[in-house]
Amino acid sequence: MADAMTAQQTADAVGAQMFAKDRASKAMGMRLVAISEGAAFLEMPVREDMLNGFDICHGGFITTLADSAFAFACNSTGEVTVAAGLTVDFLAPARRGDVLTARAFEVVQQGRAGFYDITVTNQRGEQVALVRGRAHRMKGQRVLEGSEWNGGGA
């Protein structure tokens, strides 16, 4: 049971379970790099089919990468948590062949509301986007309880 696990064991189990069922993140070529209590790092290569009419990565793909990292970070404690909102600021273009990394960190958790900062960088460490996520924890719902868990990502 999740209660007997350490915080890191819980985060690892949540990450494995969520990623196994995350068809959208997998379809976009994302990879869960690391997860810990209140934090997650995901990577995504920018492919040809992710480019817009200006040959730069469409902002929706960058936002989806950030949202996925946000989902893993806010569910890492084992409590089902969903996104309540995101704000995105694009700082620089991402191009075909770039490998983007989204790093999500909990800023504050107060009651059922949580706030997370997500930074998206390219393989050179240049910032591509800054994202603030607002999350809502679902009362009494655990990610790891039962085999019929059907989601709960941000």
CATH number of 2-142: 3.10.129.10
What amino acid is encoded at 113 in this protein? A
**What local confidence, expressed as pLDDT, does residue 154 receive?**
52
- pTM, two decimals, is 0.90
pLDDT tens, position by position, 28-80: 999 999 999 999 999 999 999 999 999 999 999 999 999 999 999 999 999 99
Distance CA 70, CA 122 (A): 17
**What local confidence, expressed as pLDDT, does residue 77 receive?**
93
**What local confidence, expressed as pLDDT, does residue 2 receive?**
46
Q: DSSP for 82-145, please give it.
A: EEEEEEEEE-S---TT-EEEEEEEEEEEETTEEEEEEEEE-TT--EEEEEEEEEEEEEEEESSS
Distance CA 77, CA 11 (A): 6
Residues 6+ apart with CB under 8 A from 101: 33, 41, 42, 43, 120, 121, 122, 123
| Domain residue limits, the chain | 2-142
